[in-house]
Amino acid sequence: MNTVEGLETTETVVKKIHTKAARVAERAEKSLALPYDEHVSDALEKHEYNFVLTDPKLPDHPIVFASEGFCKMTGYTNMEVIGRNCRFLQGPETDRQTVMEIRDAIREERACQVQILNYTKQGKPFWNLFHMAPVYCRKTGRVIHYVGVQTPVSSAFVVSSAASTPTRLSVVDEAAPTEPLPSGGEGTGFIARGGVDASDRRGEVGVTYATVQPSAECRQRVLEAVDSVVSELTEASHGKVCCTRSAELETNKAIPGTVCSSMLLSLTKIQQSFVLADPQQPDMPIIHASDVFCALTGYLPEEVVGKNCRFLQGPDTDQESVQKLRDAIKEEKPCTVRLLNYRKDGTRFWNSLHIAPVRDSKGKVIYFVGVQLDVTAASEGTCEKGVSPRLQQMGAVGAVRVAVRSLQGAGLRRVVTPPEVVS
C-alpha cells in the first residue's frame, strides 16, 4: 500500500513538472506570437549569434527565446533555458555592482553594455561582453522584449590592460581559462595585472585581475549582432516594433493605458489577487492583472487587460454594492464591498473586494488598485491563512503603492561611492 501511495505521489510530482513546463512553453510561444508573425522563430534561428529574448511583462522577466549559439556557449539545452531569468548564468565571483547596472538599465528601459563574469552549466567561468537592448512598441512606446547578446571575451578580442586600473575580481582555482568553452571559444581571455594572460596564472586562488578590456572589434561585433536581431524582429512585426522610442514617447514615459516593464518587475512579485486600473482612460480599463487573480477567475491576462472590472459581475450581483464602488472611485476614496462574482466558466464566488486610489508624488490619482479575496467558504472576518482579509488587502495595496512610487522622480540609478584609498 505504501509503495502504491509512493508511486502515485511520484506520478503526481512528474505530472506537475510536465504541466509547469507546458505552461512555461505556452507563455514563451505567446510572447513571440502576439507582436510578431509566425515565422519569427525560424528567422531568429538562422542567426549564429549568442542571444536571448526576454519578456519583462511575464513574472520574473524570463527568457522566451534562446539561440542555438547561446545554448552551445552556456552548455544548457533550450528547454533548460526557456522560462528562466538570466541570473542563472551568475556565480560566486560575478560582480554584484555589474548586476545592479543591468537591473538599473531594465528599470530605466534603456540599453546597456557590461563585461560580466558568467558560468557555464558545468560551472566554468567565462568573461562575457553582454549587451542588452530594449525593443519598443512603435505605437505605445512600451517595451515588448529585451534582446540580450552574449559574447565570450576570448584572448583574440582582448586588448592589453597593463595600464588599466585593477578591480577586485578573482577567479576560482581551475584550468577553465585555457579550456575551450562549449561554443568553441578560446577561454575566458581576460588579462591579468601587468599584461600577463590569465591562463598563465591558473591555480592561484583569489588573484586580483585587471579590468577586462574587450577590443573595438569585439564591441563592434556585439553591436552588429544586436542590430541584426532587432532588424529581424522589426521585419517580423511588420514595422510595429522599433529599437528607439519617438521623441514624444521618450519625453512622456508614463504612457496612458500601459505599465512600464520597470513597474511590472515589482508588481509580479506581489503574490495576491489584484488588478491595476487606469482612471485616466475611458471606462477605466484594467492595465495589469496578477497571476493569482487569473487563477481565481479562470481568465488569461490578455482576456483581462483592457476590460473594466464589471466583466466579473453577473445576474445576481448586488447593484447597490456596485454603486458604492462607483461612488468611491468618483470621490477618490478607498472602499470595501462583498460581491457575488462569476468566473470564466460561470461558477460563482463571493468576493471581498477592496479598491484604493494610488497617487503620484503630487497627490494626483494615477491608478486604482482592486484586491480580491475569495470568501465563499469563510466568514468575512477570517480567511484560510488566519490573517484577516483587511490586513491582506492593505498589504497588497501598500506593495502596489511602493512599486509605483519607486519609479517616480530622480534617483532611480544607484550611485556607488568608491572606497577611500588608505596610503
Kindly report the CATH class assigned to 261-408.
Answer: alpha beta
Bridge partners (DSSP) listed for residue 364: none
- pLDDT band at residue 406 using 50, 70 and 90 as cut-offs: low
286: left (phi over 0), alpha (psi -120 to 50) or beta: beta
Share of the chain above pLDDT 70, in %: 71
Q: Note whether 15-157+211-242 and 261-408 share their fold.
A: yes
* Residue range 71-120, pLDDT digits in tens: 999 999 999 999 999 999 999 999 999 999 998 888 778 899 999 999 99
The pLDDT value recorded for residue 141 is 79
Q: Is-contact 168 147, C-beta < 8 A? A: no
Which has more confidence, 328 or 106?
A: 328
**Range of lowest pLDDT (143-157, 225-239, 266-280, 300-314):** 143-157
Query: What are the angstrom distances between the C-alpha of 358 and each of 153, 316, 362, 366, 396?
Result: 46, 30, 11, 6, 12
Look up residue 388 and give its three cell numbers.
484577516
Residue 148 contacts residue 52 (beta carbons within 8 Å): yes
Cα dihedral across residues 77, 82, 83, 85: positive or negative: positive
Query: How many other C-beta atoms can be found within 10 angstroms of the C-beta atom of residue 347?
Result: 11
What's the CA angle centered on 271, arms 268 and 275, to 5 degrees?
65
Q: Amino acid identity, residue 233?
A: L
User: Which DSSP string corresponds to 325-372?
Assistant: HHHHHHHT--EEEEEEEE-TTS-EEEEEEEEEEEE-TTS-EEEEEEEE
Strand partners, 145: 135
Q: What is the CA radius of gyration of the chain?
A: 25
What gap in Å lies between CA 348 and CA 361, rounded to an integer?
Answer: 39
Query: DSSP string covering 220-251, please?
Result: HHHHHHHHHHHHHHHHHTTTSEESS--HHHHH
pTM of full prediction above 0.75:
no
Average pLDDT over residues 340-359: 94
Domain ranges across the chain = 15-157+211-242, 261-408
Each residue's pLDDT tens digit, 227-286: 999 999 999 999 888 888 766 555 554 445 556 666 776 787 888 899 999 998 889 999
**Secondary structure letter of residue 157 according to DSSP:** G
**What homologous superfamily is domain 15-157+211-242 in, according to CATH?**
PAS domain (3.30.450.20)
pLDDT at 55 over 80: yes
Mode of pairing for the β-strands spanning 112-119 and 125-137: antiparallel
Beta carbons of 108 and 100 less than 8 angstroms apart: no
Using CA atoms, how far residue 150 sits from 73, 95, 244, in Å, is: 9, 16, 21
Tell me the per-residue pLDDT of 174-207, one tens digit each, with 9 for 90 and over.
333 333 333 333 333 333 322 333 333 333 333 3
Q: How far is CA 324 from CA 28, 334, 339, 354, in A?
A: 40, 10, 11, 11
